[in-house]
Amino acid sequence: MRICALVIRIIRQFLHDKRSLALMFVAPIFILWFMSLIFDGEVYTPKLGTLDIPERFAEALEEQGAELVQYASEEESERSLEKQEIDAVLRFDGFAPTVRLEGSDPSVNRSVLMLLQNAMKSAAPQAMPELNIEYLHGSSEMTAFDNFGPVLVGVFSFFFVFLLSGISFLRERTGGTLERLLAAPIRRAEIVVGYLTGFGLFAVVQSVLIVWFAIDVLDLRSAGSFWLVLTVTLALAATALTLGTFLSAYASNELQMVQFIPLVIVPQIFFSGLFHLDTIVDWLRPVCYIMPMYYGADALQDVMVRGGGWSEIAPNVYVLLGFSFLLAAANTLVLRKHRKI
Amino acid sequence: MSKHSLIIFGVMTLNTIEPMIEVISVSKSFHNKTVLEDISLSIPKAEIFGLLGPSGAGKTTLVKLIAGIDRADKGEVRILSERMPKLSMLNRIGYMAQSDALYTELTAKENMEFFASLYGLKGSGRSKRIREAAELVNLSDHLKKPVSTYSGGMKRRLSLAVSLLHEPEILILDEPTVGIDPVLRQSIWAELDRLRRGGTTILVTTHVMDEAYRCQRLGMIRDGKLIAVGTPDELMAKTGSQTIEEAFLHYGGVRP
């Protein structure tokens, strides 16, 4: 009954506050779409300068998709390299080819070298038999966005729910309404559950929207079930909700709540699987086990990239629910600061 | 003795046996700083009791202890003989804090609906109480407006209406008339008088001296101690003052 009143109030507050509504529903969609445009683009075409290379090799390079610019002298090519008009210069010192890279962007370096290797292989096919490539998960068409898209889906669920629920609870305290709430015969746990339910409803809508948009509109690869993706994002949102309201007790204004973003959200993104965790320094690695995003992102990649079923993600979902439960209990305790019973 | 006077006598003894609000040797400190020191106080049913004192004297802290929001370090607070804080007793208390404590993005009606539901009101009973409370503070024509468009005085009135919604037996008002114009202040006090005659016990903190005069009894708080309790006339007589303000200054230590 009282929980119900709290839920209705939260829904009404949201409906009156168009900006927060937009932040919750439009912002993640927009950012996701933006990211997909950036990372889903065509493969990069390296621009190569050439200094007197064999005709057959130049043809092989162009076949691989390189853009070639011929130079007459080394000074000329060096100048172009400095102006970043080309990514590398290729010359033959006698029999052996030498490549001089512009070198400031590792990903461009890699694509230049890859292209050169492919060209050399096709120019001298007898050297090695063609490699057959098979995929356990994914395919040759899989883009970078397909790989980290699932992580982004989780990050957005987490971030926006964290911020909105945290600030909303903070305002309740600084605006004096929490005190008035506690002057009424409502249990502290009822307040926590009411908040969880009210914001939970919006988190459900947000999750459905994000997941639907990512899979159906952006064509994000999703090998597993839509419902499993939804389950994971909801578990993540529940954690974000309880974490946001819990931390709001330690902020005395909205600005201090925002200060939790670099402290709490950003490190989680680092540990969420956007970067390979294997390359992290040893002593730092255990830190990821206390980060909700780590479990959420891992489960999302399991489902969307590797097509995992419930049995694969269940442990992760349980951990997230455990986090939520602990934080909700902590919330109830923290409210003791404001009313002793 | 006629039957009539017997009934009156009965009511009076009941009042003396069971005070509405009872504060017994209460002390409270925050971070080793004593805010309330050994305060005892008893307020009978159907009385308007005014708490007077300079800012920082501990009025709000005492009021919160009585409202059941905080717990005393020493001593006890009893409401209708029940030891506070007790969750089930909160339904019988109406509390209006110093801050307006309203949801500014919601309309006045939505605010009232929410708080009324917290006290278990629902359906047509709830709508009726909202209408009545809004009428009381003269806000009936503004119920559909978001509170963010309200003036300071309107917010104060709405806040008062919210604390009246569940028809509490005890009404605790922390500086209820701050920012309210004199005309409306008069009508609010008239309403408080009417509530008192209907049996409501009202505890009010105030800085406004003519309001103090409208209380049945006053308590003067200074540095966390209750230094005097009595009717306005008693306090004036005791200090040899012509006005309540003089008595206040006397107890405040400004005047010897």
Q: How far is CA B149 from the centre of its chain?
A: 27
> Are the beta carbons of A180 and B69 separated by less than 8 Å?
no
Q: pLDDT by residue (tens digit) across A232-285?
A: 999 999 999 999 999 998 998 989 999 998 988 888 888 887 777 777 778 887
> Are the beta carbons of A5 and B120 separated by less than 8 Å?
no
Report the C-alpha gap between B33 and B204 in whole angstroms.
25
Question: What does the pLDDT read at residue A96?
Answer: 77
Question: What does the pLDDT read at residue A90?
Answer: 87
> Which one of A12, A186, A341 has the shortest CB-CB distance to B118?
A186
> Are the beta carbons of A176 and B87 separated by less than 8 Å?
no
**What pTM did the predictor assign?**
0.82
- Contact (Cβ atoms closer than 8 angstroms) between residue B203 and residue B66: yes
User: Is B196 domain-assigned?
Assistant: yes
Does B178 reach chain A within 8 Å, measured CB to CB? Answer: no
Question: What does the pLDDT read at residue B180?
Answer: 79
> Are the beta carbons of A340 and B91 separated by less than 8 Å?
no
Tokens of A303: 């489902």
Q: What is the mean pLDDT of residues A160-168?
A: 90
Mutate to test the interface with A, among B103, B156, B173 (most CBs of A within 10 A): B103
Chain B residues lying within 8 Å of A187, measured CB to CB: 87
User: Is B256 domain-assigned?
Assistant: no
Report the C-alpha gap between A29 and A215 in whole angstroms.
12
Q: B189: domain range? A: 3-251
| Domain of residue B217, CATH code | 3.40.50.300
User: Is B9 domain-assigned?
Assistant: yes
Count of other CB atoms within 10 angstroms of residue B80: 16
Question: What does the pLDDT read at residue B229?
Answer: 92
Chain A residues lying within 8 Å of B85, measured CB to CB: 339-341
Does B67 reach chain A within 8 Å, measured CB to CB? Answer: yes
> Which one of A6, A13, A183 has the shortest CB-CB distance to B69?
A183
Whether A125 has a pLDDT exceeding 50, the answer reads yes
> Which one of A2, A13, A185 has the shortest CB-CB distance to B106?
A13
> Are the beta carbons of A340 and B85 separated by less than 8 Å?
yes
Number of domains in chain B: 1
A104–chain B nearest CA distance, Å: 52
Residue with tokens 């806040």: B159
> Are the beta carbons of B110 and A9 separated by less than 8 Å?
yes
Q: Which domains does chain A have, with CATH numbers?
A: 2-39+143-337 (no CATH), 47-127 (3.40.190.10)
Q: What is the mean pLDDT of residues A198-215?
A: 89
Mutate to test the interface with B, among A4, A168, A180, A188 (most CBs of B within 10 A): A180
- pLDDT, tens digit only, all 256 positions of chain B: 444 544 444 444 444 557 889 999 999 998 888 899 999 999 999 999 999 888 888 898 999 999 988 888 999 999 988 888 888 889 999 999 888 899 999 999 999 999 999 999 989 999 999 999 999 888 999 999 999 999 888 898 899 999 999 999 999 999 888 777 888 888 888 889 989 999 999 999 987 788 888 899 999 998 889 988 999 999 888 888 888 888 888 877 765 4
User: Is B238 domain-assigned?
Assistant: yes
Q: Which of the residue ranges A17-31, A112-126, A254-268, B44-58 would you say has the lowest mean pLDDT?
A: A112-126
